[in-house]
Structure 1
Amino acid sequence: MKADEMDWNRTLREQWEFHWNHQIRARLEGLTDDEYVWSPVPDAWSVRPRSTSTAPVQAGAGDFTIDFAFPQPDPEPFTTIAWRLGHVIVGVLAARNAAHFGAPAASYESWEYAGDAATALDQLETQLDVWLAGVRSLGDAGLRVPVGEKEPYPEAPMADLVLHIHRELIHHLSEVCLLRDLYLHTHHATNGATR
């Protein structure tokens, strides 16, 4: 098959779908509420009940907020699974789904963060479904259209944004899997837990 005959839209979607279906989805099954908020270090950023954080910024519209600071500290704080999922759900997916695919407006400040693992995973699946349907709707021609003023590089084609979002998903969700491994191996010695 020649490059000009390839279905680039399908190829870009499959980049993420393969990773999700064969490496990430199963690794997220059974995520507990303990793992969701667990931190191996003190003062990690997380998602917390409203008014319980000491972070300079506590963003969110519901009963739970996500920790932030502007400008970000150097070094940046360690982040829990809850924080990483919140970042992926809102900053990586929901804000882009709103900006490019007609989904409801979403921002760190307006989001209702999940206080438990099951709700966070449901939010993740929902935003992933919206993202993939939106990418599919672009076809090949839509991948060449500039992303516009809603992104930091407005002249970049949508294909660049799709690749960026997929890198972010692979990166951050792999971190979540690593934290699950660390949790399992540090807690196994004290309570005999297995996964």
Structure 2
Amino acid sequence: MEIEGVRTDRLGLLLDQFDQAREMAQVRLAGLGDEEFLWEPVAGCWSIRRRGEAVTPRAYGPGEWVIDKGAPDIPASEYAEVARQAASGMPVAKIADDWSVGVERVEEVLAHTGPPEPDATPVTTIAWRLAHLHSCFAGQWEWTFGERRRDPRELVDFTPSAALALERFWALIDRWREDVATVTEEQLDTVGFSQYPYGSDPDDPYVGVVAGDNLEFIHHMAEIALLRDLWRARPGTAG
């Protein structure tokens, strides 16, 4: 449905939201240089690093550069999602498998009462956040519109070049957005239309997956924008 040229259907609203977020992100990313891209504002940051120099146990990537990734766990921000999964009838073993943790950890989360303690999450660089988004969207495309067989961790050749990383990222985003725009109403409601293996996609209707992709894009781009502000205001910088 359209009202004065504005789509009001579910997919139209999601695409409009994504397009607006992307437009703002492209403006905020203009002029990003390599030093800023890799800037570590505090000690212990996660970033992209040469293979063999990664500081985390599950760093991944197919080439010379890999992205830091820590041990599997269920963050406090996802406790409510785990509770929803269990309430919907998903077996605890399946939930554990989805989060790559043991059954005991899921049971601990489900038994938790009161507000969870905030996670002690690492600060991540602009390079990490963009690489994470690139990896997620590449995997989403492969396991929805592609051959549904390639490991999402091997799809993106990470690079320390900000310009090259952005060029590759926007090309992938263009392909993802173009194919999402072809999805039918029936496919939006299809559970498992996306088979992306690192998450609940196979158990969710695709409209929820697209909404989640938008959220992932928006919140990481907001973080990148803040890091750019901090870079400009760092000590010893004029203006």
The interval holding the TM-score normalised by the smaller chain is 0.7 to 0.9
The structure 1 residue matched to 2:16, chosen from 14, 17, 21, is 14
Aligned equivalent of 2:176, options 119, 123, 131: 131
Contact 1:59 1:66 in 2 (8 A): yes
- Partner of 2:139, secondary structure, is helix
Distance 1:133 1:110 in 2: 19
Letter in structure 2 aligned against 1:97: W
TM-superposition CA deviations, 1:123-176 (whole Å, max 9, x none): 220121111112111033321222357251534211111100001100001100
Residue segments in structure 1 that go unaligned for 5+ positions in a row: none
Q: CA separation in 1, counterparts of 2:62 and 2:203?
A: 32
Whole-angstrom CA distance in 1 between matches of 2:160 and 2:40: 15
How many aligned residue pairs are there?
A: 188
Which structure dedicates a bigger proportion of its chain to helix?
1
Q: How far apart in 2 are the matches of 1:84 and 1:43?
A: 15
For 2:169 and 2:194, how far apart are their aligned partners in 1?
Answer: 26
**Are residues 1:169 and 2:217 paired?**
yes
* Displacement after TM superposition at 1:60 (Å): 1.0
TM-score by length of 1: 0.85
Distance in 1, matches of 2:225 and 2:218, equals 10
**Shift in Å, 1:81:** 0.6
List runs of 5+ in structure 2 lacking aligned partners.
Answer: 76-118
Corresponding residue SS for 1:19: helix
User: Which residue is 1:48 aligned to?
Assistant: 49
Aligned pair 1:116/2:169, yes or no?
no
Change (3 A) 1:103 1:144: same
RMSD: 2.5
Instruction: Spell out the pairing of 1:43-192 with structure 2 (5 A cutoff).
Output: 43-71=44-72, 75-91=120-136, 93-102=137-146, 105-148=150-193, 150-151=195-196, 152-186=200-234, 189-192=235-238
Runs of 4+ in 1 over 6 A off after TM superposition: none
Q: Partner amino acid for 1:60? A: G
Structure 1 residue 25: deviation in Å?
A: 0.9
Amino acid aligned to 2:189: R
Query: Distance between the aligned counterparts of 1:54 and 1:112, measured in 2?
Result: 19
Per-residue deviation, 1:42: 0.5
Larger Rg: 2
**d(CA) in 2 for partners of 1:2 and 1:120?**
36
Q: CA deviation at 1:191?
A: 4.1
Say which is worse superposed, 68-77 or 28-37, in terms of deviation. 68-77
Which piece of structure 1 moves more, 37-46 or 102-111? 102-111
Structure 2 CA distance, aligned partners of 1:69 and 1:109?
Answer: 17
TM-score, normalised via structure 2 length: 0.71
